[in-house]
Amino acid sequence: MLGLLSYASVPDWVPCDKSIRHWDGSGMEPGTRQDTESTLPEGLGQAIRETAGDIAALLRAAADTTVPVPGSQWTLGEAAAHLAQANELMADLAAGFERPYGDGTPQSLAEANERALAVFGERDAQPLATMIEEQAGVFLDAVARSAADGTADRTLGTPLGPMDQAVLASYLLTHMLGHGYDLARALGRPHMINRVRVGLCLPFLLVAMERVADAAATAGLTARYTLRLRGGSAFGVTFNDGAVDVTPEPLNRPDCTILTEPITFLLMALGRRDPLRAMARGQVLAWGRKPWLAPRFPTLFTAP
């Protein structure tokens, strides 16, 4: 559906002042965890902590970081290094710092990723596991501080445009789940995506969809879609001659309704599963006045 996870890590990486980036390893400083969870949507802070911990556990059990990541040009160590850098960048953004990154196009973001990896030489599993977990905690520390100082409502710059704090947190979780899935596949281990975590990714995905729509593919198209996650949320996407509108509620009288198993939905959205194969396996169903629009939906977006 959407290949969203070619993350714009910072070229010529410049860390922030580490005096405000300490994390004590417990997840939050005393008294701040509750503040974070009250600021973010319910369960999102916990999902960020636990997903970072799951990824760190995978890496700490890895004997070889030179193994290839399936479907990628990266090795396990390179993918983990990218994820560690991305978590640090997300923590910087949550703290309100501006950081240079690509312009949102696939080519610029891929180039930014490669430049960032070239100047960051760490590829060993143990330090990368620690950095991934610590920077997720630093992110949550920044969220808690913003709640305390009254800046939780500010708009933050991201590689995919301006977002509020809750959407940025959803972005962080989505990014970790996509690359965590890759690391698990590379190691032949179970992934950490579940139905609850998929639901917490939706705030980011709904914002990102409008920003990654393919102008050429949507030109001249008028269509109304409702997308439903089996046993969970539903939302609407309307195309009107190049304009795209995503709503957090299902549409009345859509042309096409698409029902997807939640984990399959996220993997398709992140470019990790082929939509046509998922449909052939019964993981995606479609109906409505124009059900033939369903296979077209994934082609209406480009991966940044």
Mean pLDDT of 66-83: 96
Q: 18-209, what's its fold?
A: Four Helix Bundle (Hemerythrin (Met), subunit A) (1.20.120)
Characterise 106 by phi-psi region: left (phi > 0), alpha (psi -120 to 50), beta (else): alpha
- Give the pair of three-digit tokens for residue 210: 């409008």
Helix (H) or strand (E) holding 146: helix 125-149
Domain 213-300 carries which CATH code? 3.30.1050.10
In the predicted model, what is the mean pLDDT of residues 255-280?
A: 94
Indicate if the pLDDT at residue 252 is higher than 70: yes
Rg (the chain; Cα; Å): 19
User: Is residue 109 very low, low, confident or very high in pLDDT (cuts 50, 70, 90)?
Assistant: confident
> Which has more confidence, 27 or 104?
104
Residue 25: pLDDT band with limits 50, 70, 90: very low
pLDDT tens profile 154-181: 999 888 889 999 999 999 999 999 999 9
Return the domain boundaries, the chain: 18-209, 213-300
Rounded Cα distance, 193 and 204, in Å: 16
Neighbours of 233 (CB within 10 A): 16
What value does the mean pLDDT take over residues 90-109?
81
What pLDDT does residue 5 have?
Answer: 46
Paired tokens of 251: 């549409």
Q: What DSSP letter does each residue of 88-103 carry, written as one string? A: HHHHHHHTT-------
